[in-house]
Amino acid sequence: MPLYKTLNPNSQTTVKIWKIEESFDVLIQPITLRPESLSRVLSMKSELHQRGFLSVRHLLAEFGYTDNDLFYDENGKPHLKDGKHISITHSFTFSGVVVSDNMVGIDIEKQRDKIGVIAHKFMDYESQYLQKDADDYIRKLTVIWCVKESLYKLFATPGLSFLKHTLVIPFELVDSETRAWIDYDNNKYGYQTTFLEFEGFTCAFALPFS
């Protein structure tokens, strides 16, 4: 399947999402990979991960980039050679890329009950406004996780803790957005976050307050 969804939260930012339905052979045929990227994808033990990797390269092409335009720093954060900011995610059958003039982070996660088991590991403040017996509890938990993962990718600082250093302001699922904060090393950073749901998945992306 070609591009699944395109979002433009502002004039400097574009989000593109891919639904991964193609086989490995179909995905790899039309794209050119650097030798190190080809080696990396061929060494992956899971075909699902291979297809996710390749679908991200198709998303890069949708932006007008190639595999050669992408590189990673020592913290594993992706960068583009033209200086624009980029963040990448993939989960099961969906992948996403956001490109912006500003710092940005994105995450996609499948909505699963198991997230409730680890909720205490990634949220503290948020437990004050979530109701465990609510019908939308797992969906809201997944939004919080995606927002915090987006912040983690954006901040890309070793030692940043979901539990200790990030918080998500109360929200309702119909809002499609909320604010979030990173409180790290005696400094506070604020972010506008947007979230959406599709086919049992949640996507969130974060940008600094404008």
Run of H or E residues at 25: helix 24-28
Residue type, position 29, single letter: Q
DSSP-derived letter for residue 124 is S
For the chain, the domains span 3-102, 107-208
CA-nearest of 204, 199, 202, 157 to 182 is 157
Burial class (CB in 10 A: 0-12, 13-18, 19+), 192: middle
Q: What is the CATH number of domain 3-102?
A: 3.90.470.20
Residue by residue, pLDDT tens for the chain (210 residues) are 589 999 999 999 999 999 999 999 999 999 999 999 999 999 999 999 999 999 999 999 999 999 999 999 998 899 999 999 999 999 999 999 999 999 999 999 999 999 999 999 999 999 999 999 999 999 999 999 999 999 999 999 999 999 999 999 999 999 999 999 999 999 999 999 999 999 999 999 999 997
